[in-house]
Amino acid sequence: MGKLIIIGAGGVGNVVAQKCAREKDVFSEILIASRTKSKCDAIAASINQPHVSTAQVDADNVQELVALFNSFKPELVINVALPYQDLTIMDACLLAGVHYLDTANYEPIDVAKFEYSWQWAYQEKFKKAGLMALLGCGFDPGVSGIYTAYALKHHFDEIQYLDIIDCNAGDHGKAFATNFNPEINIREITQKGKYWENGQWKEIDPLSVHQPIGYPNIGPRESYLLYHEELESLVKNIPSIKRARFWMTFGQAYITHLQVLQNVGMTSIVPIIYEGKEIVPLQFLKAVLPEPSELGENYTGETSIGCQIRGIKEGKDRTYYIWNNCKHQDAWQDVQAQGVSYTTGVPAMLGAKMMMTGTWMKAGVYNVEEMDPDPFMKEIGGYGLPWNEIVNGELAFDDYK
């Protein structure tokens, strides 16, 4: 048993807190902290357990974080705040002697750029301190990497082709809304796409490459080639990969709204002066869009996220498809959240459990695919995210050449 701090009180933070609170044998005391304490208080009130408390903290301020950590004395911090704050929280963990876990890699606030280099640079610092930092333990990144590691351990001698495919076939009834932080979501999909092929990165214009992909229990949905951070760590940690890509579905209405917003400058991250004050258009847009945490109650449909892999086993070609489908209604019934928050928050809880129990624990900075996938895979289904697999069977799509 140990103490845990959760930083972040959005949709994912709610899921993490709800799930962790049920694991009293692992997390003896839980502190939920964010810039807006009232959001933490609302989550704690919905849990209504004496071992869950709240605090206000500015996650951009290392000294505030260190003071909070030294006061509460947690074994582990789960960071589900903004990716801009990863490094300040990691710095605070080093100063206070606390293990660290996050769900998304660091990016600078003034540049839409996703790259692990900033966090990987902390490797020796965490090793020297005897602390562990586990990066990207959501679903994608997160379970997508664990699925790939599991495939390599049990089904392949060599993985050559990897496609991570992500479909949200849900309907929240809003004209335009994002399923996680609008600012991060829009930055992610409006930057250039990128994929790995034959030892190098290849760039494409945003949303310029797309094709229909057939998802289990959903059917064909138009899917767009994006860059996603787990591609960077997977091709580093599994060097046999010849090509790695990430695909995500978007409906035509979403694409149309996004194009209009781009055309009028609302997705820009370059500050402008409005009525004598400096504002960032994308941050203003975020303020007027629905909160992702508010989408859950009337959300219908389901998500489907998986890995489609091709490689070699005992000298023969092999294909492998592993995936999870999650119904938004089931997520709401479990923790009053929509499915995208659920599929991110549940793996974060389980990754934290793996660390707290010592199942995954070694000093340094690691991505999830560097851990033994078996203990995680054994438990994840019991927490609401069961998985399915097909070996040498029907794929979601097939353009392997």
Tokens of 132: 């562990």
Predicted confidence pLDDT, tens digits, the chain (401 residues): 799 999 999 999 999 999 999 999 999 999 999 999 999 999 999 999 999 999 999 999 999 999 999 999 999 999 999 998 999 999 999 999 999 999 999 988 777 677 899 999 999 999 999 999 999 999 999 999 999 999 999 999 999 999 999 999 877 666 566 655 666 677 777 788 999 999 999 999 988 999 999 999 999 999 999 999 999 999 999 999 999 999 999 877 777 667 767 777 777 778 888 888 888 877 877 777 777 656 656 778 999 999 999 999 999 999 999 999 999 999 999 999 999 999 999 999 999 999 999 999 999 999 999 999 999 999 999 999 999 999 999 888 887 65
Query: What are the angstrom distances between the C-alpha of 30 and each of 24, 76, 132, 389?
Result: 9, 10, 19, 35
Query: What are the angstrom distances between the C-alpha of 381 and each of 25, 39, 341, 350, 378?
Result: 19, 29, 17, 11, 7
Residue 322: name the closest of 366, 372, 367, 377 by CA.
Answer: 377
Which residue pairs, CB below 8 angstroms and at least 24 apart, start in 279-284? 282/183, 282/186, 282/187, 283/183
Bridging pattern class, strands 364-367 and 76-79? unpaired
Residues 349 and 383: their CA atoms lie apart, in Å, by 10
- Tracing tokens 């070996």 back to the chain, one arrives at 391
The beta strand positions in 35-83, using DSSP E, are 52-56, 76-79
Residues 294 and 385: their CA atoms lie apart, in Å, by 22
Tokens of 271: 């500050």
The beta strand positions in 81-209, using DSSP E, are 99-102, 132-135, 158-168, 193-197, 200-204
Per-residue pLDDT at 287: 78
Which residues lie closer than 8 Å to 189 by C-beta, 6 or more apart? 206, 207, 224, 226, 248, 250, 258
Q: Phi and psi of 204, rounded to 5°? A: -135, 160
**Within 10 A of 117 (CB to CB), how many other CB atoms are there?**
9
* Plot region of 73 (φ>0 → left; ψ -120 to 50 → alpha; else → beta): left
Residues 268 and 287: their CA atoms lie apart, in Å, by 14
Domains of the chain: 2-135 (3.40.50.720)
